[in-house]
A = this chain, B = another copy of it.
Amino acid sequence: MKKIDILKKLRSSKLRPTKQRVEIAKFLFEREKTFHFTVESLNKLLIKKSTSKIALATIYNTVHAFKTAGHLSEVEVRGNKTYFDTNVSNHHHFYDSENSELIDIDANEIVIQKIPKAPNGKKIKNVEVFINLKN
């Protein structure tokens, strides 16, 4: 992803392209593969990569702004930290609790044959499958 696309992505999300946001966006989206991270891990990586220090609160704000804008998805796994995923398409996950690692599973790699109806007046928003791993 080129810089111009980063700026477009920010602007289209009504995020003013500030220095910090551009830096975070480049770090998150200028990569080939899906990237899974927690705010904590992202902060550590940004401290190493980036010249200027970015406040933790800014990382929280920006990551949540990207999530609201649909550029990141949130993945809940066992444990107390919140994971984010640069893959925002409908997909599933392996979760390896040995090393707290998430691995994407393409939506078409899992086929569900039978599914119950949503209860009383509710509708199904989406279906998430977690395949928990062991050694």
The answer, yes or no, to whether A18 is at the interface (CB within 8 Å) is: no
Interface string of A64-78 (1 = CB under 8 A from B): 000000000010111
For A109, the closest partner residue in chain B by CB is: B116
**Interface size bucket, A side?**
35 or more
The answer, yes or no, to whether A110 is at the interface (CB within 8 Å) is: yes
The answer, yes or no, to whether A31 is at the interface (CB within 8 Å) is: no
Oligomer: number of copies: 2
Q: Which of A107-135 contact B (CB under 8 A)?
A: 109-116, 118-119, 121-135
Decide: A129 near B129, CB < 8 A? Known: A80-B80, A109-B116. yes
The answer, yes or no, to whether A96 is at the interface (CB within 8 Å) is: yes
The answer, yes or no, to whether A7 is at the interface (CB within 8 Å) is: no
A26 CA to B94 CA, complexed, in Å: 36
Measured CB to CB, the closest approach of chain B to A38, in angstroms, equals 13
The answer, yes or no, to whether A105 is at the interface (CB within 8 Å) is: yes
The answer, yes or no, to whether A103 is at the interface (CB within 8 Å) is: yes
For A75, the closest partner residue in chain B by CB is: B78
Interface string of A23-67 (1 = CB under 8 A from B): 000000000000000000000000000000000000000000000
